[in-house]
Structure 1
Amino acid sequence: MKARVTVMLKDGVLDPQGEAVRLALTGLGFDGVRGVRQGKVIEVDLATEDRAAAEAEISRMCETLLANTVIESWQVELP
């Protein structure tokens, strides 16, 4: 089973990369961009087909490695 994990900075955490992208877009003439938040997408191919087991395993992965739980949140998509 494939899982897609989207990791983003939590609300209120400064995002200097997102701000750099916003400024670059403005410099390229995209004046309507009010904000940009940058994150990462991680695809994990799991050996299990059990949805509950996959969700539990991915949550443990996020809490231990894939996300910095102090400043980042994550969302998991399973088929």
Structure 2
Amino acid sequence: MSVRIRSDQLLIVPRFQARVLVRLRPSVLDPAGEAARGAAERLGVEGLSKLRIGKAVEMEVEAPNEEEARRRLELLSDRLLANPVIEDWTLELQNP
């Protein structure tokens, strides 16, 4: 939670922890993942048949409630963090 003070009012705004996982759609080739899989084989790692590379974005958002926090984070994920043509994303949101 964060506390904001405005003149004579005390306003407490919840702060939500969030993680957005962004990864290539299954139909999109992943050259970085294939390169990492090949390197793992050369290191002697056995049994690794598939490796895909993605990204995790961690953030905090202040919002009056979970619904509003989720709305803001979904907008951010759709429009900024992921390329909707080639990537999917999932949102993990923790209550304050």
TM-score range, shorter chain: over 0.9
TM-score where L is the length of structure 2: 0.79
More helix, by proportion: 1
Scaled by the length of structure 1, what TM-score is found?
0.95
SS, match of residue 22 in structure 2: strand
Structure 1 runs of 4+ off > 2 angstroms?
none
Question: Which residue type is aligned with residue 69 of structure 2?
Answer: A
Matching residue of 1:53? 68
Higher relative contact order (CA 8 A, sep 6+): 1
Q: 1:5 aligns with which of 1, 20, 25?
A: 20
Helix, strand or coil for the counterpart of 1:46? Answer: strand
Cα RMSD over matched residues? Answer: 0.9
Please identify the structure whose Cα radius of gyration is greater: 2
In the alignment, structure 2 segments of 5+ residues that lack a partner are: 1-15
Larger fraction in strand: 2
Mark the runs of 5 or more structure 1 residues left unpaired by the alignment. Answer: none
